[in-house]
């Protein structure tokens, strides 16, 4: 009999048992950082928190948040709680604004990461017999490394191709008979596009059955497009360099994002006031790494907006469920008083017949006032048909239906928008 869960003990424990595990680990964590790191010691002392103050998991709320600014202030190793000698691997975020965020790992942290990624990929359906084409960019970025560790722990074969060189991706995918693909959703669509240009049919001419995607926001509509085009099941991954990389949540066969809450303690807050919200409400995700050694993040503000529920899942896992990310509070735009997330525009566009997966949201600033427009590529066939004003009107109507906001849409020739082998740039400013 094949096992249903990677780690049934932790994935199916009762809420009561989970809270016991979380409390035990939280107490140990607070004692650890209090005694090993000056920054944390001072921060806890200022908030009048000692290791003895943690009596229930809710006592975590007495500790001030950790922000990206804190991480930058202590760049690169100021928040490390072990000796720097004990670090065996380092990653970093892209750092488009200011210094990058550094993710240091001890041997125990690397093992934990592999374990969390194995749990996530196993829940996606990856097994030992699979051949995973790892088309995330190798380098400082966590993505490729996390997927490699998890897949190898399961015993799958990992093709360490990295991102880019799309023609070669296609050849290798056919020759090696890859059954699973790891990359950003937009790169997966680009691979499909190039394969089609070569006269191949992605759903028929390959052996892929599974896609494990992340590192950028993508709507359910894009997920359905990917699944149809490739003939695969596509799963979402969520994680952050500040926490461990991918592996914070595991998407089960019912496409529910189960939080690995035995290692990552989730909270939800009001992004404006910092007040704790109840599960079920929508707010900013805040995470505490309960068991990391080199750099434990305590109450890290992710800026990602989502909700969390304790619903029973058909898969049998009892770990709490996180919704898809609605957007990052940083990506939120306010246009004529209306709150707009790029994901909402994507969802609207994907309702239009003849649309491709390629679009760009253009923000234009005129005397401190932002206006928005959308450039979208119709499919080749739709473009040849002409009457593109009908197409544009439809797209504008769909956006209006969701946002109650008039956003002009311009149809542009196919293959005009630059393609990305990593994270797609969906919003540009002119």
Count of other CB atoms within 10 angstroms of residue 338? 12
**Enclosing H/E stretch for 92:** strand 87-92
Q: What minimum distance in Å lies between the beta carbon of 123 and Zn ion? A: 8
Q: What minimum distance in Å lies between the beta carbon of 258 and Zn ion? A: 6
Q: Which residues of 362-388 are buried (b: 16+ CB within 10 A; e: fewer)?
A: beeeeeeeeebebbbbbeeebbeeeeb
CA 420 → CA 221, 283, 427, distances in Å? 19, 30, 13
Q: State how beta strands 210-213 and 180-183 pair.
A: parallel
Q: What minimum distance in Å lies between the beta carbon of 252 and Zn ion? A: 3
Residue 325 sits at φ, ψ, to 5 deg, of -75, 125
Q: How far apart (Å, rounded) are the C-alpha atoms in residues 120 and 265?
A: 17
Confirm if 173 and 206 have CB atoms less than 8 A apart: yes
Q: Which token pair is 258? A: 């189960």
CB-nearer residue toward Zn ion: 25 or 317 = 317
**What is the number of residues in the chain?**
430
Dihedral over Cα of 253, 259, 262, 263: its sign: positive
Q: What minimum distance in Å lies between the beta carbon of 412 and Zn ion? A: 40
Q: What minimum distance in Å lies between the beta carbon of 318 and Zn ion? A: 9
CB-nearer residue toward Zn ion: 256 or 426 = 256
Q: What minimum distance in Å lies between the beta carbon of 5 and Zn ion? A: 10
Residues of this chain that interact with Zn ion (CB under 5 A) are 252, 254, 256, 313, 315, 317
Q: Which residues of 202-224 are buried (b: 16+ CB within 10 A; e: fewer)?
A: beeebebbbbbbbbebbbebbbe
CB-nearer residue toward Zn ion: 126 or 135 = 126
Confirm if 210 and 230 have CB atoms less than 8 A apart: no
CB-nearer residue toward Zn ion: 49 or 261 = 261
Q: How far apart (Å, rounded) are the C-alpha atoms in residues 405 and 403?
A: 5
For residue 316, the 8-state DSSP code is S
CB-nearer residue toward Zn ion: 170 or 315 = 315
Q: Which token pair is 148? A: 């490699």
Q: What minimum distance in Å lies between the beta carbon of 316 and Zn ion? A: 7
CB-nearer residue toward Zn ion: 94 or 323 = 323
Count of other CB atoms within 10 angstroms of residue 430? 7
CB-nearer residue toward Zn ion: 73 or 312 = 312
Q: Which token pair is 59? A: 């006592």
Q: CA-based Rg of the chain, rounded to a whole angstrom? A: 22
Q: Which of helix, strand or coil describes residue 319?
A: coil
CB-nearer residue toward Zn ion: 234 or 352 = 234
CB-nearer residue toward Zn ion: 133 or 322 = 322
CA 117 → CA 65, 87, 368, distances in Å? 26, 20, 44
CB-nearer residue toward Zn ion: 137 or 239 = 239
Q: What minimum distance in Å lies between the beta carbon of 150 and Zn ion? A: 18
Q: What minimum distance in Å lies between the beta carbon of 186 and Zn ion? A: 26
Q: What minimum distance in Å lies between the beta carbon of 313 and Zn ion? A: 3
Q: State how beta strands 300-309 and 321-322 pair.
A: antiparallel
């Amino acid at each position: 009999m094949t096992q249903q869960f990677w780690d049934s003990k932790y994935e199916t424990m009762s809420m009561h048992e989970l809270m016991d595990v979380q409390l035990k680990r939280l107490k140990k964590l607070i004692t650890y950082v209090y005694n090993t790191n000056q920054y944390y010691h001072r921060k806890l002392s200022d908030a009048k928190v000692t290791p003895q103050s943690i009596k229930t998991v809710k006592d975590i709320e007495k500790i001030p948040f950790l922000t990206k600014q804190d991480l930058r202030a202590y760049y690169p190793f100021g928040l490390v709680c072990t000796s720097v000698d004990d670090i065996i691997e380092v990653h970093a975020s892209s750092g488009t604004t200011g210094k990058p965020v550094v993710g240091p790992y001890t041997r125990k942290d690397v093992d934990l990461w592999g374990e969390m990624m194995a749990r996530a990929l196993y829940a996606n359906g990856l097994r030992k017999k699979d051949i995973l084409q790892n088309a995330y960019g190798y380098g400082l970025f966590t993505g490729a490394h996390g997927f490699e560790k998890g897949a190898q722990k399961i015993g799958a074969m990992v093709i360490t191709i990295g991102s880019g060189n799309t023609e070669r991706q296609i050849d290798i995918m056919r020759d090696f008979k890859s059954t699973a693909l790891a990359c950003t959703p937009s790169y997966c669509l680009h691979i499909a596009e190039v394969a089609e240009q070569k006269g191949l049919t992605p759903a028929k001419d390959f052996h892929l059955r599974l896609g494990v995607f992340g590192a950028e926001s993508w709507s359910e509509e894009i997920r359905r497009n990917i699944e149809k085009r490739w003939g695969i099941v596509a799963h979402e991954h969520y994680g952050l360099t500040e926490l461990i990389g991918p592996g914070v949540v595991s998407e089960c066969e019912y496409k529910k994002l189960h939080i690995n809450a035995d290692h990552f303690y989730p909270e939800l807050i009001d992004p404006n006031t910092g007040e704790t919200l109840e599960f079920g409400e929508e707010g900013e995700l805040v995470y505490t790494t309960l068991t990391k050694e080199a750099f434990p993040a305590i109450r890290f503000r992710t800026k990602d907006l989502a909700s969390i529920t304790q619903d029973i899942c058909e898969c049998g896992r009892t770990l709490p469920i996180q919704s898809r990310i609605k957007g990052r509070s940083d990506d939120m735009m306010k246009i004529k008083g209306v709150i707009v997330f790029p994901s909402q525009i994507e969802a609207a566009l994907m309702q239009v017949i003849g649309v491709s997966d390629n679009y760009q949201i253009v923000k234009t600033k005129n005397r401190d006032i932002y206006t928005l427009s959308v450039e979208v590529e119709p499919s080749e066939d739709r473009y040849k048909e002409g009457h593109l004003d009908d197409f544009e009107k439809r797209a504008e109507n769909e956006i209006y239906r969701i946002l109650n906001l008039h956003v002009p849409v311009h149809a542009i020739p196919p293959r005009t928008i630059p393609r990305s082998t990593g994270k797609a740039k969906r919003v540009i400013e002119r």
